[in-house]
């Protein structure tokens, strides 16, 4: 069987230049159309490959898949088959789409039914999120926040370089790109106010993050080592961790963020597999002081993924407001998962683990409005002449990401959501 990652592969499906979805990517998602109930698909160029159709018509015979595995509302059952199986499925799809393979290419009726034009499909949540954890793994972000709210000379808290700090978030309110978000209401207290007040958040923010999705269970009580971690990680999505800063600052001591975050988080609908990202590995930044043995790891564990955030005012054009990169992450995903399970916490198939805001070293690479506009002191100028300290009603926040090397571009598509006024 061919290897989908082979950079020389070309598909008989047209893939426009700069497309996020060449034959080397093949991310998995859940789509529906006017005629098709929700089911699994894979993106290539401007098309979606209908996996239910291919499976029902024998194109995956021999891979040991159960009959209904793709014809479902979520990918949980599929990814739970394990990376050996799902990797073989991805390679088989590459084989079917490869330019010299006639199986599907020259079978016009099958080809026309198997390839869905993206414009005719709606993308849904790819997985039922079982548990959601948010890490806080960008040293630049943690330093910026610490500088703004605490002490520039001691910006990082004492535990930060020893622990991949994380906390539990709300799984129910994670929604796919395209679902618009109402500005949350909540309790806030101005520093000079005697009592808190209630109303729509005045400091609504995005956070540029990625998230990985797990595909294997460890069982309660069993730690997953940094070396084993990758068996558990199916792939990645872009993640917008919407945050109401004014609610957060009043509520978060001592038990962490709650209503400031749990009104919504938005994800890109295509899960880019860890397999597809293999060619883009880069070293994790040096960790000093040395980590405890359970957090040690070998090899290149970061990924060189360009990340961008655009802000589009109502009726206006997109403004690029942030250019960051996943490679800046101080803690890698292997360390995050090893830490999360070192106490025996059990991982489930379909868990989502977000990175925390990914800020880079320069001012244009900060991954939140809080940092970009530096707590409101440096408003961002948009092309229509308006300014932003935080996100306003009618604004659409769009995040995009892609890795690129040897002429191959592995992209995530986008997560785009508009902010609607408070209900």
Distance CA 144, CA 371 (A): 7
Sequence-ordered strand ranges (E) for 153-298: 166-168, 174-176, 181-182, 185-188, 197-200, 204-205, 208-214, 233-240, 243-244, 265-267, 272-273, 281-282
Closest to its own copies by CB, 37 or 222:
222
**Residue 292 and residue 162 in contact, taking contact as beta carbons nearer than 8 Å:** yes
Q: Which two tokens stand for residue 86?
A: 């799902």
Exposed e or buried b per residue across 382-410, where buried means at least 16 C-beta atoms within 10 angstroms of its C-beta: beeeeebbbbbeebbbbbbbbbeeeebbb
- Which residues are within 8 A (CB) of 67 and not within 5 positions of it... i.e. 6 or more apart? 55, 56
List the catalytic residue out of 55, 141, 339, 340: 141
Residue (179 or 380) nearer to its own copies, CB: 179
Would you say 153 or 194 has its CB closer to its own copies?
194
Q: Are strands 174-176 and 265-267 parallel, antiparallel or unpaired?
A: parallel
Based on the residue annotation, tell me whether 141 is a catalytic residue of this protein. yes
Does 227 carry a binding-site annotation?
A: no
| Nearer to its own copies among residue 58 and residue 289 (C-beta) | 289
- H-helix or E-strand containing 145? helix 139-149
Between 64 and 191, name the residue whose CB sits nearer to its own copies: 191
Could you tell me the smallest distance in angstroms from the CB atom of residue 250 to its own copies? 6
CA gap 120, 340 in Å, rounded: 40
Q: Is 357 flagged in the annotation as binding?
A: yes
Instruction: For residues 272 and 261, give the distance between their C-alpha atoms in angstroms, rounded to a whole number.
Output: 25
Task: Report d(CA 289, CA 286) in Å as an integer.
Answer: 9
3-state class of 114 per DSSP? Answer: helix
150 is in an annotated binding site: yes
Residue 209 assigned ligand-binding role? yes
Please check if 418 is assigned to a binding site: no
Q: Is-contact 31 120, C-beta < 8 A?
A: no
User: Cβ 368 to its own copies, closest distance in Å?
Assistant: 15
Q: Is 102 exposed, middle or buried (0-12, 13-18, 19+ CB in 10 A)?
A: exposed
Q: Which is nearer to its own copies, 169 or 401 (CB)?
A: 169
Q: How far separated are the first and last CA of the chain, in Å rounded?
A: 53
Q: Which two tokens stand for residue 206?
A: 């995005």
Q: Is 265 annotated as a binding residue?
A: yes
Q: The tokens 């084993």 sit on which residue? A: 228
DSSP 3-state assignment of 177?
coil
Closest distance to its own copies from the beta carbon of 11 (Å): 37
Minimum distance, C-beta of residue 112 to its own copies, in the bound complex (Å): 36
Under the rule (CB under 8 A), what is the footprint of its own copies? 130-132, 136, 157-159, 162-163, 165-173, 175, 179, 182, 184-187, 189, 195-198, 220-223, 244, 247, 250-259, 262-264, 289, 292-294, 339-340, 342-348, 351, 423
Nearer to its own copies among residue 24 and residue 243 (C-beta): 243
Range list of β-strands (E), 268-340: 272-273, 281-282, 302-303, 306-312, 319-325
Distance CA 336, CA 166 (A): 8
Number of separate helices (H) and strands (E) present in the chain: 10, 26
User: Which residue ranges are tagged as binding site?
Assistant: 134, 136, 150, 207, 209, 241, 248, 252, 261, 265, 357
- Would you please indicate which residues are annotated as catalytic (active-site) residues? 141
User: Which residue ranges are tagged as binding site for substrate?
Assistant: 136, 150, 248, 252, 357
User: Which residue ranges are tagged as binding site for Ca(2+)?
Assistant: 134, 207, 209, 241
């Amino acid at each position: 069987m061919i290897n989908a990652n082979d950079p020389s592969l070309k598909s008989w499906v047209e893939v426009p230049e700069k497309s996020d979805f060449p034959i080397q990517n093949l991310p998995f998602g859940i789509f529906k159309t006017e005629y098709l109930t929700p089911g699994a698909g894979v993106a290539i160029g401007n098309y979606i490959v209908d996996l239910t159709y291919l499976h029902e018509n024998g194109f995956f015979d021999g891979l040991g898949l159960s009959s209904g595995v793709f014809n479902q509302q979520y990918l949980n059952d599929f990814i739970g088959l394990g990376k050996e199986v799902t990797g073989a499925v991805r390679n088989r799809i590459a084989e079917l789409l490869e330019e010299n393979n006639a199986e599907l290419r020259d079978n016009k009726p099958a080809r026309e039914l198997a390839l869905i034009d993206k414009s005719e499909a709606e993308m849904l949540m790819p997985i039922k999120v079982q548990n959601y954890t948010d890490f806080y793994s960008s040293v630049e972000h943690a330093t910026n926040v610490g500088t703004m709210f605490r002490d520039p000379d001691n910006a990082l808290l004492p535990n930060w370089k020893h622990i991949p700090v994380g906390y539990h978030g709300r799984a129910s309110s994670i929604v796919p790109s395209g679902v618009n978000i109402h500005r949350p209401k909540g309790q806030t207290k101005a520093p000079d106010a005697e009592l808190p007040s209630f109303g729509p958040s005045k400091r609504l923010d995005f956070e540029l993050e990625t998230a990985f999705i797990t595909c294997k269970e460890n069982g309660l009580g069993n730690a997953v080592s940094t070396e084993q971690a990758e068996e558990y990680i199916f792939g990645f999505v872009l993640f917008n961790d919407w945050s109401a800063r004014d609610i957060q600052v009043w509520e978060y001591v001592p038990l962490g963020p709650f209503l400031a975050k749990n009104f919504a988080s938005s994800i890109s609908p295509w899960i880019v597999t860890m397999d597809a990202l293999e060619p883009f590995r880069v070293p994790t930044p040096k960790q000093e002081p040395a980590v405890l043995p359970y957090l040690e790891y070998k090899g290149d564990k970061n990924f060189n993924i360009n990340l961008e955030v655009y802000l589009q005012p109502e009726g206006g054009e997109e403004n690029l407001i942030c250019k960051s990169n996943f490679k800046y992450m101080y803690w890698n995903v292997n360390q995050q998962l090893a830490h999360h399970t070192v106490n025996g916490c059990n991982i489930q198939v379909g868990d989502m683990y977000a990175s925390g805001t990914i800020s880079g070293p320069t001012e244009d690479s900060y991954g939140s409005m809080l940092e970009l506009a530096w707590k409101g002191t440096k408003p961002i100028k948009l092309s229509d002449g308006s300014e932003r300290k935080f996100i306003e009603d009618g604004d659409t926040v769009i995040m995009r990401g892609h890795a690129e090397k040897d002429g191959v571009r592995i992209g995530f598509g986008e997560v785009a959501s508009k902010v609607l006024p408070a209900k």
